[in-house]
Amino acid sequence: MARKRWRGAFAGLAAAVVLGGAGAVSALTAADAATYPNPGRVTGDTGAHDPTVVRAPDGRYILAATGNNLSLKTSTDRVAWRNAGAVWPGGAPWTTPYTNGGRNLWAPDISYHNGQYYLYYSASTFGSQRSAIFLATSPTAASGSWTNQGLIIESSNAVNYNAIDPNLVVDQSGQWWLSFGSFWSGLKMIRLDAGTGRRSTSDTAVRAIASRPNAGGAIEAPVIHRRGGYYYLWVSFDRCCQGASSTYRVMAGRSTSVTGPYTDRNGTPLTSGGGTEVLAGHDAIHGPGHQAVLTDGGGDVLFYHYYADNGASYLGINLIAYDAAGWPYVY
């Protein structure tokens, strides 16, 4: 009953948030979210893994996700989704040295800047540190319209990180940064050239932003989202990709600087294993994670994948609100 009461308390406010922004529920606190909501309603082609979403200038939503040659979906209302083909319908042979010849590319990050779409994505195999992040650009984001812009960063056993799960963030001054990482020594950040989207040649530092040294390194999928005076670092803890046995959960920290240090609600640095839980498995929703955050209609929206009881992965969408102390929760 607690879950039904909690969902019901927000039912009349959801439309107001979409139209009027997260402030519509500012009086409610994260304590109200102790019982997590189910995903919002989605229909159509809703199978997805590692989703990332951008809103096009014409109002359409474009989703990219892990899959053979990277899968694309579109929606006009953020509810009904349809298949829109693959980023690389003819294949991406430049990635095969990292995928053992396979076509399954991972964890894209899509955004729109300067009149074109930018897509950072990963090539690797499960459990391997031989990984790479590439960039593609397109004027339309349509299947087959993408241009390979080449390698951004790669990893091997010669370094202490894994180059997968990229996310682009543009800071308040207009500087571009790419966060990435999975297990090993944790999540990292590099500086990009805002003119090309490629790695900076003047600042080549690899900065540490989060890790879990006492939990087997089980942290990945960084997403940095700026809201107000803070940069929020969203991450996934624990284990993905095990169907209904997955233990993924969505965590967050924040900083006043894009490069950190990021801390959780209790002040624990994310580089020391900190993180404030925002969403975890419940009922028939298993392992929600690999999140993306989009500001839309005045409020923020969380996209993620979760596993059903049968082990299939699906698109999850919830709205985000912030409590009086500025910490996010979903409803």
Q: Which residues of 122-155 are buried (b: 16+ CB within 10 A; e: fewer)?
A: bbbeeeebbbbbbbbbbeebebeebeebebbbbb
- Tally Cβ neighbours within 10 Å of residue 314: 18
Paired residues of 170 in beta bridges: 176
Between the alpha carbon of residue 189 and those of residues 186, 209, 283, the distances in Å are: 10, 7, 35
Dihedral angle over CA of 198, 254, 241, 181, nearest 10 = 40
- Tally Cβ neighbours within 10 Å of residue 303: 25
165 annotated among ligand-binding-site residues: yes
Contact 101, 92 (CB under 8 A): no
Element (H, E) at 11: helix 2-11
10 annotated among ligand-binding-site residues: no
136 annotated among ligand-binding-site residues: no
203 annotated among ligand-binding-site residues: no
Q: CA-to-CA distance for 195 and 180, rounded, in angstroms? A: 20
Active site (annotated) includes residue 58? no
The dihedral built from the CA positions of residue 217, 203, 222 and 260, taken in this order, carries a sign that is positive
Element (H, E) at 71: strand 71-75
127 annotated among ligand-binding-site residues: yes
183 annotated among ligand-binding-site residues: yes
245 annotated among ligand-binding-site residues: no
| Candidate list 50, 238, 300, 323, residue with the active-site label | 50
Active site (annotated) includes residue 50? yes
Contact 184, 126 (CB under 8 A): no
Q: CA-to-CA distance for 112 and 225, rounded, in angstroms? A: 15
| Candidate list 109, 220, 238, 300, residue with the active-site label | 220
Q: CA-to-CA distance for 47 and 256, rounded, in angstroms? A: 36
162 annotated among ligand-binding-site residues: yes
Contact 110, 74 (CB under 8 A): no
The DSSP letter of residue 40 is P
Binding-site residue numbers are: 50, 127, 162-165, 182-184
Residues with catalytic function: 50, 220
Binding-site residue numbers for substrate are: 50, 127, 162-165, 182-184
